């Protein structure tokens, strides 16, 4: 008997439907002739707790840290024992096993750790499915690969799981026990991803709190030129009183110049005119989709992930959603017209977009070299029954279709003009843009970024017909939202001061992964470290106090982003799991020496003493959460 182990029941059902012959469902499995399909329910196994290694570690004690297992153990999750029993019975009867986890690092771990836990020693093949529709599943079944080819991916996922355990268990115990000494009765959860994310928000909130606005004074001048009129803005010279953004912070020079300008003549000193072509935005990765859906429809990152899972599993309208890739396989190009026609079948807006598509075009999105374990999110081609979709599911589905559809629209062509005029020995700048060919742009917005300028010629004369000074005020940074926080996690190098580390981080996956970023945000909310204020994500008093008490190395993104780089190296056989764990342990021992009850007590008192501000709690439910003692979940 061949046994296929899928990651979840919906995937198992899709595989069974693509197998030849009739299928018969039994408890925890589906029989299809000589093949049986069973499934996991997400992770069936979890890392054993510290007391499973040594009963003395059931009690939390600082002198027992760090806790480091000599031989790692897994144990069944409390609700997984029944399904594990089903798999154990079936795997004893199997002549060969097919691993059908999701096509990513975590999917490789999830099924393979079950196979190894059962001590199965027979042949194992790998089935990679990113589209649950029957034709796609049938194609995948015809392309089975030896599971051994994916052993480095498993080792990277296993290294991540063990490292998260070591980091979370030891630092959470250390700071929770230190918190008790400081008078805080509750768990202070620390994780290698969640804590740097919290640190980003706390530092942004602090910057907003400490921001001191100052006025600045832009000066405009309206100019008559040969073929019309335009508005230009003064570019003050460096000897003027300017801030670090080059803005004038003393009004007197602006008022004096504005009084002299009317009637003054000058000339066009510099003219830069060029036609630009902009390719359509690429199809979505999950994080890119979360950013757009948050901005356009106000959806949280977790809501977008949940919607995508339903569109993938229940409705079978999109391909595998937990993707970090924005490119599509070249073989999909020949299927694109058919899949988009099917996807657009029952929606008027999508039908209009389809009419404008030119399927003879080929964008840079179709690139096998950019596709790894999975490709960009795309419609499967199954017609959507919008009566069966919620409004938010419809919004997300249209975004996914739109970004693939845009690959069959012409590039956006613009004519951009930058002009610098000289009057009274001062420089005045203007810029404008004309749309030559809107291309894909109407699918995204009808707004023009800059109005066009009249036709200009280098050296032509100009005359000022009016001038004025505006009084503006600098603004504090914007608080993080789901969209901007996901984008920050994707581009974490921007928040790193060390230029060497910043360069290194350009090539990593950022902070967290496509599959975990939404969950990290929700975990911080649930643990009482963050609160949502309309669309904004703000740190609570407890969250701010924890970041203030922790070593900066724990709450900044460098370490965890470099972790991801090393994990990628393991998955590509360029790094060693043992060396990675040893480096982590050396790091961990150093961090544990920094737990300081006096510093934590001061941080908690400072946070409690602050009235108002971004860290202020709202609602009795959140207040209660800060004082509830909880069993810590797995840390990330």
Task: Answer whether 248's CB lies under 8 Å from 381's CB.
Answer: no
- DSSP of 9-52, one letter per residue? HHHHHHHHHHSSS-EEEETTEEEETTEEEEE--S-SEEEPPGGG
Q: Is 320 a catalytic residue?
A: yes
Task: Answer whether 193's CB lies under 8 Å from 511's CB.
Answer: yes
Question: CA 7 from chain center: how many Å?
Answer: 23
Spatial distance between the Cα atoms of 373 and 101, rounded to a whole number of angstroms: 12
Q: β-pairing, 219-225 with 215-216?
A: unpaired
Beta strands in 52-171 (DSSP E): 74-76, 96-100, 124-126, 145-146
Task: Answer whether 370's CB lies under 8 Å from 364's CB.
Answer: no
Alpha-carbon distance values, 353 to 88, 285, 408 (Å)? 51, 21, 10
Spatial distance between the Cα atoms of 606 and 600, rounded to a whole number of angstroms: 10
CA nearest neighbour of 11 among 101, 108, 136: 101
- What are phi and psi for residue 330, nearest 5 degrees? -65, -30
CA nearest neighbour of 510 among 570, 575, 558, 580: 558
Q: What is the dihedral of CA 390, 395, 397, 403, to 10 degrees?
A: 180
Supply the DSSP symbol for 285: P
Task: Answer whether 478's CB lies under 8 Å from 459's CB.
Answer: no
Any residues with CB less than 8 A from the CB of 613 and at least 6 apart, and which? 205, 209
Q: Which two tokens stand for residue 561?
A: 């982003």
Beta strands in 368-411 (DSSP E): none
Residues in the chain: 636
Q: β-pairing, 145-146 with 426-437?
A: unpaired
Helix (H, G, I), strand (E, B) or coil at 249: coil
Spatial distance between the Cα atoms of 298 and 305, rounded to a whole number of angstroms: 14
Spatial distance between the Cα atoms of 385 and 393, rounded to a whole number of angstroms: 11
Task: Answer whether 469's CB lies under 8 Å from 254's CB.
Answer: yes
Q: Which two tokens stand for residue 440?
A: 């894909």
Spatial distance between the Cα atoms of 412 and 433, rounded to a whole number of angstroms: 12
HSE at residue 144, side-chain half, CA atoms within 13 A, is: 16
Spatial distance between the Cα atoms of 75 and 45, rounded to a whole number of angstroms: 5
Supply the DSSP symbol for 514: T
Task: Answer whether 582's CB lies under 8 Å from 536's CB.
Answer: no
CA nearest neighbour of 526 among 511, 547, 540, 508: 540
CA nearest neighbour of 128 among 323, 395, 407, 419: 323
CA triple 283-289-294, angle to 5 deg? 150
Spatial distance between the Cα atoms of 74 and 157, rounded to a whole number of angstroms: 14
Q: Which residues of 97-134 are buried (b: 16+ CB within 10 A; e: fewer)?
A: bbbbbbbbbbbbbbbbbbbebbebeeebbbbbbbbbbe
Helix (H, G, I), strand (E, B) or coil at 253: helix
Among 320, 409, 495, 529, the active-site one is 320
List the catalytic residues: 320
């Amino acid at each position: 008997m061949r046994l296929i182990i899928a990651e979840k029941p919906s995937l198992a059902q899709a595989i069974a439907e693509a197998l030849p012959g009739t299928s018969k469902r039994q408890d925890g499995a589906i029989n299809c002739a000589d093949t049986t399909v069973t499934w996991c329910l997400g992770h069936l196994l979890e890392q054993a707790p510290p007391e499973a290694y040594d009963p003395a570690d059931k009690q939390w004690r600082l002198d027992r840290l760090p806790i480091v297992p000599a031989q790692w153990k897994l144990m069944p999750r409390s609700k997984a024992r029944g399904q594990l029993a089903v798999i154990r019975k079936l795997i004893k009867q199997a002549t060969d096993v097919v691993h059908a986890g999701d096509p990513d690092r975590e999917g490789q771990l999830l099924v393979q750790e079950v196979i190894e836990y059962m001590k199965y020693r027979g042949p194992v093949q790998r089935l990679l499915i990113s589209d649950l529709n029957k034709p796609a599943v049938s194609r995948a079944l015809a392309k089975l690969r030896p599971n051994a080819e994916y052993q480095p991916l498993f080792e990277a996922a296993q290294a991540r799981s063990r490292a998260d355990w070591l980091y979370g268990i030891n630092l959470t115990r250390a700071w929770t026990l230190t918190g008790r000494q400081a008078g805080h009765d509750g768990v202070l959860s620390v994780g290698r991803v969640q804590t740097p994310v919290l640190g980003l928000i706390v530092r942004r909130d602090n910057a907003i709190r400490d921001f001191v606005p100052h006025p600045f004074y832009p000066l405009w001048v309206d100019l008559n030129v040969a073929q019309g009129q335009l508005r230009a803005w003064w570019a003050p010279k460096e000897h003027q009183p300017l801030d670090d953004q080059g803005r004038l912070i003393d009004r007197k020079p602006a008022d004096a110049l504005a009084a002299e300008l009317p009637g003054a003549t000058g000339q066009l000193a510099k003219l830069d005119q060029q036609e630009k072509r902009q390719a359509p935005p690429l199809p979505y990765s999950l994080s890119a989709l979360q950013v757009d859906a948050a901005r356009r429809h106000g959806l949280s990152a977790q809501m977008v992930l949940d919607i995508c899972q339903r569109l993938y599993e229940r409705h079978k309208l999109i391909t595998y959603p937990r993707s970090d890739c924005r490119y599509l396989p070249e073989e999909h190009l020949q299927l694109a017209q058919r899949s988009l026609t099917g996807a657009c079948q029952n929606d008027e807006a999508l039908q209009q977009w389809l009419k404008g598509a030119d399927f003879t075009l080929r964008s840079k999105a179709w690139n096998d070299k950019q596709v790894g374990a999975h490709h960009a999110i795309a419609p499967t081609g199954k017609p959507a029954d919008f009566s069966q979709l919620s409004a938010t599911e419809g919004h997300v589905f249209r975004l996914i279709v739109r970004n693939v559809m845009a690959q069959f629209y012409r590039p956006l062509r613009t004519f951009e003009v930058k002009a610098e005029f000289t009057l009274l020995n001062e420089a005045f700048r203007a810029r404008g843009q004309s749309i030559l060919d809107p291309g894909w742009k109407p699918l995204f917005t009808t707004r023009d970024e800059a109005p066009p300028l009249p036709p200009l010629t280098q050296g032509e004369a100009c005359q000022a017909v009016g001038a004025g000074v505006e009084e503006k005020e600098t603004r504090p940074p914007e608080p993080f939202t789901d969209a901007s926080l996901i984008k920050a996690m994707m581009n974490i190098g921007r928040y790193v001061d060390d230029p060497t580390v910043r360069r290194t981080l350009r090539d990593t996956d950022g902070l967290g992964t496509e599959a975990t970023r939404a969950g990290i945000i929700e975990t911080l909310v649930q643990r009482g470290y963050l609160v949502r204020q309309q669309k904004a994500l703000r740190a609570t008093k407890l969250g701010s106090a924890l970041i203030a008490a922790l070593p900066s190395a724990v709450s900044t993104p460098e370490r965890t982003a470099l972790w991801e780089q090393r994990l990628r190296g393991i998955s590509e056989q360029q790094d060693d799991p043992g060396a990675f764990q040893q480096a982590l342990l050396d790091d961990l021992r150093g961090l544990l020496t920094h737990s300081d009850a006096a510093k934590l007590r001061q941080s908690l008192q400072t946070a409690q003493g602050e009235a108002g501000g971004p860290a202020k709690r709202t609602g009795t439910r959140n207040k209660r959460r800060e004082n509830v003692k909880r069993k810590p979940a797995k840390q990330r």
